[in-house]
Amino acid sequence: MVTKQQKVGEARARIADNVRRLRNERGLSQEEMAELADFHRTYVSQLERRITNISVDGLERLAIALDVDIVELLGISPGTEDAEATKSTGRKPKRVTK
């Protein structure tokens, strides 16, 4: 069930952001990530660009390859709000300082 705060496609965006973040944290190229998860080399790129959906089995393969719990791929990644604001406006949101 989609809540008022959740939008259709949000899960795909979360997965894409988390895969990219975790892959980069581990110093892996998209090709290396694909090899670890037993995907075609272009599939990781498609996931990160939100072009394709991924199955639960595919999420599990990514989680194993990244050595994380599958839930971490669906979580809200740090800085997601800033990233979403940048996409919609083309500018980063202003920070309020005290």
Q: What is the CATH number of the domain that holds 77?
A: 1.10.260.40
The residues, any chain, with a CB within 8 Å of residue 63's CB and separated by 6 or more, are 69, 70, 72, 73
Three-state DSSP at 40 gives: coil
Distance CA 23, CA 48 (A): 10
Q: For the whole prediction, is pTM greater than 0.75? A: no
Any domain includes 1: no
- The confidence score (pLDDT) of residue 77 equals 75
Q: Using one digit for the tens of pLDDT, what is the confidence trace for 33-79? A: 999 999 998 999 999 999 999 999 999 999 999 999 999 999 987 76
Return the DSSP state at 92: P
- The confidence score (pLDDT) of residue 80 equals 56
Domain extent for 48 = 10-89
Any domain includes 95: no
Number of domains in the chain: 1
